[in-house]
Chains A and B, each alone.
Chain A
């Protein structure tokens, strides 16, 4: 087993993989999130610690890893590398997104098509692997990764190649070793008894996976030894027994896969995939994968826990659920309970039944679920119930010996479920079936009489009694049973049988739940009779599901959409549309998600449309309801749907105006609609008003009208409303008028009205009122001129900002920007300027630039960086700056050995041509390269060689050599010597007249100033450095661009040190521009780093993000550890300030490792300082002190006062109160010497 203490976060394996944090542990090791320093990517690493027989294990794993590397299948997670680091064996794998099957199974079983799809994909992977001779041997839900790829479910099998671990463990102590693996439930029988494993072992595991997906738990659960015994001996309960809607073929397949004897299992995983594909459909996966686990929560047994968890799915039905729960408890004590669950279509009856299923599963109460339909008649549901019941409780057959033949005669399906054999012993009653099929006289069963009847029963009554006897047998042993019949309104006669059971078996542990739609149920329907008869019966509960209250919709939406917050008014609009019906709400949300209109922006959900799209399924369902209505009523409803646009209701008087039918008839027809739950009747201001029960229903009816007729009606309504309003303020009528104008296609009028409304809303600070109207208008506004549309977008953005909805405002401004591109109208420019103002207040500079019509290069936006980045990435080093010498070009691109070669060639050429000045210049260059490489002695030798060459000759290049020597000494840390050389150079230079100016003199004078600047910078004398660099730039004007850009970078450094942040930024901007134009990616990355540092001092943290991203992209293509470390330190600091502490720690560690590998002390000090800060933030003061102490030591050595101050501050904060003053005093004195006001602020 692995000891986690051996593998601490931050440890580097094989000097390549940095272990960043633990992801999980299992029998096969600990999995870490790691960073690959070589390929610079995030990976997952499974570290396998000490195992018995580790040598054998290593050989096995190496062999398996090699084999797995040979497998190529999209459903298989590859192994990048297998290796060892000291005692640790480890496997490197890709880091996967998505969830494991275990996560998906936590809340309960999966939809059957999804389970089949998962099984199919796994079977295909297994078929491929088995074909290559590789066996998994440890397949379980934790090893399956599920994700969505291009909208389709993608299952990937993990941990192929780890079977040697299982082998080693199994070789330990037999079954005890199997137990030690931690997941005995997923072992095949042959693994338990230590037999040979082959591909069929994996098929057994596939059977287990399918079983768990379908049923919600593995076939054998319990404590260790008992499970192992069950695996080898017990027959699992068939999945169809626990899940009544499971297709028989799937049930058989799972049973076959779970055969104890491997030879009885299917021979090939490919065949299994084919058999599963018939039932497979992964379309529900997307919802489940984004759905948080808790939202599919189920009932649990127990007092308080019930109240909390029983509301997992059926939101807003707390009362009903509690009542059902109470009835379930009562039924368990042998008191048959009947629950009549009614409600209109879409009210959530089926969802409640789903919850009941889960409740029963958790309480180990068996539940038989069926539904009534017209095709299978009154006995249909009972055939299903009895078949499933006999399958689950075969022992009940013993009580049915006498009537077995009759039962099989009536229900042939029972023949295969245990009763078959009994039935064959005796002939069925010849009269039974004949009598049944004939029109037998119907008699109501006599109440209060049990099976001992004395009179002759009719064949129908005898069949009824058979059913009663059969159900009685099912519960004869006292084990409770729940029975649910959905859609009971479709077959009233089934209900009569339910009533019979209710009366005949009062002392049975039975709960019968009958769910039905009660709207439009005739008064003489069996259900109505049952409702009347049992209204007050103590064993009967009548539950009528009404609409869900609006305040519950927040939770409902959260359930549909996951944990993210929906926008404020989203729940309200969904409630309005769905009329409080959860099924409608769910369908609407699903349709909006599928059509991409419901989008997540800045952490909240937002409907990017004025109306929720109505899915086809809902339209078909509602159209079906309409088809049942008489024509006159449908016509009235259609007209009503037009009148109700905008307000949701219509007055009877208005409807009567448009209809020729007598008012009384109309009222009667509308009453019918009210009874069917389609309308609700109100009395408002003396008039009778009808409202549609849901906006979706109104829209479906409305959309059913022919377009021309619809528009005509709307125009009529708009004209009538105009007459009524006539300047009066009436919000409701205004809204209705606007809606009619939109529907009538009178967009110009609607626009004028909407703009006026928006202005009013803005003045009254009531943005919501106008926003929905604007959004509705904009959806159909394509035909309006661009200026008018732009005006509407701008108004939307202003109103959204007023209610602080940045997401909505941003969307409106983006659309405004798109509209501006359509035309050159000068009025659009004005709107663009106003839009840009809004964008700026939201901190969206790029958008503001776009709205102002600026191209990326016009503004200092991130787009500039992006464009430069793309250009730079395309540049080849040699072609980047034609005017530069080859050596300089190589130097600039960090190709130092090639640069040295080029300078050597140039020197040889100059020597052969006897051009002393050129030779001296090349010696300077060579010294520069050597200094850059850290070969200071060699660099100084080049200078000495040059000076000896010059001898007593008079040449200005001698000054250049002095300057170069000073720079080398500066870089090597010998500041005194550098000062002496600068003095010597300066004195020499003075011997050359300043006027007239010569390029040669200027060049060496500039070099001298640059060296002086470097010296002052190293001494921390910022002002002097600034002056020196400025003089250097003045001398260098118009000459070497590359040198100038580098000097500007140093100048910026000096200005930053002096606290002149804006001056530094100016210099950096210029330097970045030059470096960008020349393709100096290294210089550019340095420029970015410094810029980020200065911006941080100015508090421009968010603005620095884009620049940092650009810098990170640059270092990705540059192979320079020092730069990598520098950029990652800045990135880590940025992350830390942004409260992303773990990521900041990761970046700091990467920077530290890279810096220490490259021997870059300055970067190492910065990285250590950052690590100290991270540790301090994470509450690890000892670590913080250690890291900061390290940083201070290195910084002191290098004279990096800024880092030293930072480190001392961290140490002070991490130290006990007593030690702080001393550290702070040190920081203060350092800060005083440095003279940087920002650091002074830090200390203060």
Chain B
């Protein structure tokens, strides 16, 4: 991603982690990785972050991990507002 704050490393690290979780069928961890990726991505790609946050929320909520799903939901709300503000 070419940013100077190491976001790219973090993102890739999370991607590796997510794949690892995927291979272990650790669904909640996959959701948590997506949530973390959304956070890392936010300053660079708002829409992409929003998509990831939504995915994370849906996954976590479906699994019943409500606490973390709510966190993802908060991020979705925050990003949506920012996205709207930007579009307006």
Q: A residues engaging B (CB < 8 A)?
A: 843, 1059, 1061-1062, 1096-1103, 1105, 1136-1141, 1177, 1237-1238, 1241-1242, 1244
Query: Looking at the complex, which of B40-48, B59-67, B79-87 is the stretch in contact with chain A?
Result: B59-67
Is A1139 a contact partner of B70 (Cβ separation < 8 A)?
A: yes
CA of A843 to CA of B62, assembled, Å: 9
Please name all residues of chain B whose beta carbon is closer than 8 Å to the beta carbon of A1100 when the two chains form the complex: 27, 63
Q: Give the A-binding residues of B (Cβ under 8 A).
A: 13, 17, 20-21, 24-31, 62-70
Known contacts A1099-B29, A1099-B63; A1059/B68 CB under 8 A: no
Contact of A1105 among B24, B26, B62, B64 (CB under 8 A): B64
10 contacts between A and B (CB under 8 A): A1097-B26, A1098-B25, A1098-B26, A1099-B26, A1101-B64, A1137-B66, A1137-B68, A1139-B66, A1139-B70, A1244-B17
Residue of B nearest to A1139 (CB): B66
Nearest residue (CB) in B for A1144 is B67
Measured between alpha carbons, how far is A1137 from B62 in the docked complex, in Å? 12
Within 8 Å by CB of B27, from A1098, A1138, A1140, A1242, lies A1098
Known: A1099-B27, A1099-B28, A1099-B31. Contact between A1241 and B17, CB under 8 A? yes
- A residues near B21, Cβ cutoff 8 Å: 1241
A1137 to B68, CA, bound (A): 7
- In the complex, what residue of chain B is closest to A1173 when comparing beta carbons? B67
Known interface pairs A1099-B29, A1099-B30, A1139-B70. Does A1238 touch B24 (Cβ–Cβ under 8 Å)? yes
Inter-chain pairs besides A1061-B25, A1137-B64, A1137-B67, 18 sampled, C-beta below 8 Å: A1061-B24, A1062-B25, A1096-B28, A1098-B24, A1099-B29, A1099-B63, A1100-B27, A1100-B63, A1101-B63, A1102-B62, A1137-B65, A1139-B70, A1237-B20, A1237-B24, A1238-B29, A1241-B20, A1241-B26, A1244-B20
Most buried by A among B17, B63, B69: B63
Contact A1138–B17 (Cβ < 8 Å): no
Chain B proximity of A834: nearest CB distance (Å): 22
Residues of chain B lying within 8 A (CB to CB) of residue A1061: 24-26
Minimum distance in angstroms from A528 CB to a CB of chain B: 55
Q: Chain B residue with minimal CB distance to A1103?
A: B64
With the chains together, A1136 CA to B67 CA distance in Å?
7
Residues of A within 8 A of B28 (CB): 1096-1099, 1101, 1137
Closest residue of chain B to A1134, judged by CB? Answer: B64
Chain A residues in 8 Å Cβ range of B69: 1139
Q: Are B24 and A1241 in contact (CB under 8 A)?
A: yes
A1102 surroundings in chain B (CB, below 8 A) = 62-64
Quick one: given A1097-B26, A1099-B27, are A1141 and B20 in contact (CB under 8 Å)? no
Which chain B residues lie closer than 8 Å to A1244 at the CB level?
13, 17, 20
Contact A1138-B65, Cβ < 8 Å, known A1099-B29, A1099-B31, A1241-B17: yes
A1097 to B31 alpha-carbon distance, docked (Å) = 12
What is the CA–CA distance of A1061 and B23 in the complex, to the nearest angstrom? 11
Cβ distance B68 to chain A, nearest Cβ, rounded Å: 7
Question: For residue A1103, which residues in chain B have a CB less than 8 angstroms away from its CB?
Answer: 64
Given A1099-B29, A1099-B30: A1141 touches B67 (CB 8 Å cut-off) = yes
Q: Which residues of A contact B31 (CB under 8 A)?
A: 1099
Minimum distance in angstroms from B71 CB to a CB of chain A: 9
- B31 → chain A closest CB, angstroms: 7
CB distance from A23 to the nearest CB of B (A): 25
Q: Kindly list chain B residues whose C-beta atoms are within 8 Å of the C-beta of A1177.
A: 67
Q: Which chain A residue shows the least CB distance to B69?
A: A1139
List the 10 closest pairs (A to B, CB-CB), nearest first: A1099-B27, A1102-B64, A1099-B28, A1139-B66, A1101-B64, A1139-B67, A1099-B63, A1138-B66, A1241-B29, A1137-B65
Q: Chain A nearest CB: distance from B39 CB in Å?
A: 15
Nearest CB of B to A1068, in Å:
16
B29 and chain A: residue at smallest CB distance: A1241
Smallest distance from the beta carbon of A998 to chain B beta carbons, Å?
A: 42
Least Cβ–Cβ distance between A696 and chain B, in angstroms: 40
**B68: A residues at CB distance < 8 A:** 1137
A1126 to B20 alpha-carbon distance, docked (Å): 29
A575: shortest Cβ distance to chain B, in Å? 32
Closest B residue, CB atoms, query A1237: B24
Distance between Cα atoms of A1241 and B36 in the complex (Å) = 13
Bound-state CA distance A1061–B29 (Å) is 14
A-chain residues with CB within 8 Å of residue B24 when the two chains form the complex: 1059, 1061, 1097-1098, 1237-1238, 1241
Task: State whether A1138 touches B26 (Cβ < 8 A).
Answer: no
- Chain B residues lying within 8 Å of A1062, measured Cβ to Cβ, are 25
Alpha-carbon separation in the docked complex, A861 to B68 (Å)? 26
Question: Smallest CB–CB gap between A333 and chain B, Å?
Answer: 49
CB closest chain-A residue, reference B18:
A1241
- A1099 to B25 CA separation, bound complex (whole angstroms): 8
Q: How far is the CA of A1241 from the CA of B17 in the complex (A)?
A: 7
A1059, A1097, A1101, A1238: residue with the most chain B Cβ atoms closer than 10 Å: A1101
Residues of B within 8 A of A1242 (CB): 29
Chain A residues positioned under 8 Å from B64 (CB to CB): 1101-1103, 1105, 1137-1138
Contact of A1099 among B17, B65, B67 (CB under 8 A): B65
* Residues of chain B within 8 A of A1136, CB atoms compared: 67
- Give the chain A neighbours of B17 by CB distance below 8 A: 1241, 1244
With a cutoff of 8 Å between Cβ atoms, the chain B residues found around residue A1139 in the complex are: 66-67, 69-70
Which residues on B sit within 8 Å (CB–CB) of A843? 62
Taking the nearest CB of chain B, how far is it from the CB of A1147, in angstroms?
15
* Cα–Cα distance between A1099 and B63 once the two chains are bound (Å): 6
Which B residues are CB-close (under 8 A) to A1237?
20, 24
Give CA–CA (A1241, B62) in the complex, Å: 20
Distance between Cα atoms of A1140 and B68 in the complex (Å) = 12
Q: Which residue of A lies closest to B32 (CB)?
A: A1241
Distance to closest chain B CB from A1108 (angstroms): 11
Please give the distance in Å from B82's CB to the nearest CB on chain A: 24
Whole-angstrom CA separation of A213 from B27 in the bound complex = 56
Cβ of B25: which chain A residues have Cβ within 8 Å of it?
Answer: 1061-1062, 1098-1099
CA distance A453 to B13 in the complex (A): 101
**A135-B44 Cα distance, complex, nearest whole Å:** 73
**Alpha-carbon separation in the docked complex, A843 to B27 (Å):** 15
Which B residues touch A1096, using CB under 8 A? 28
Separation of A1237 and B16 alpha carbons in the complex (Å): 13
Q: How far is the CA of A1141 from the CA of B31 in the complex (A)?
A: 20
CA–CA, A12 to B27, complex, Å? 39
Tell me, rounded to whole Å, the shortest Cβ–Cβ distance linking B74 to chain A: 12
Contact of B67 with A1238 in the complex, beta carbons under 8 Å: no
Q: Cα distance A1242–B33 when bound, in Å?
A: 10
Distance between Cα atoms of A1237 and B20 in the complex (Å) = 9
Look across to chain B and name the residue whose beta carbon is closest to the beta carbon of A1238: B26
Per the bound structure, the CA–CA distance linking A1242 and B32 in Å amounts to 10
Which residues on A sit within 8 Å (CB–CB) of B13?
1244
CA distance A1059 to B26 in the complex (A): 10
Closest chain-B Cβ to A857's Cβ sits at a distance in Å of 25
Closest to A1096 in B: B28
User: In whole angstroms, how far apart are the Cα atoms of A1098 and B24 in the complex?
Assistant: 8
Q: Shortest CB–CB separation between residue A1180 and chain B, in angstroms?
A: 16
For A1141, the chain B residues whose CB sits under 8 A away are 67
How far apart are the CA atoms of A1096 and B29 in the complex, in Å? 10
Q: Report if A1138-B67 is in contact (Cβ < 8 Å); known contacts: A1059-B24, A1237-B24, A1238-B24.
A: yes
Determine the chain A residues whose CB is within 8 A of the CB of B62 once the complex forms: 843, 1102
B67 (CB) vs chain A CBs: closest residue: A1139
**Measured CA separation A310–B69 after assembly (Å):** 39
A1141 and B30 alpha carbons, distance in the complex (Å): 23
Q: A300 CB to closest chain B CB, in angstroms? A: 34
Kindly name the residue among B25, B64, B69, B70 whose own CB sees the greatest number of chain A CB atoms within 10 A: B64
> How far is A843 from B64 in the complex, measured between Cα atoms in Å?
11
Min CB–CB distance A663 → chain B (angstroms)? 59
B17, B28, B70 pick with most chain A CB within 10 angstroms: B28
CB distance from A607 to the nearest CB of B (A): 27
Question: Which of B20, B24, B27, B30 has the most chain A CB within a 10 Å cutoff?
Answer: B24
Report how far A1167 CA is from B25 CA in the complex, Å. 27
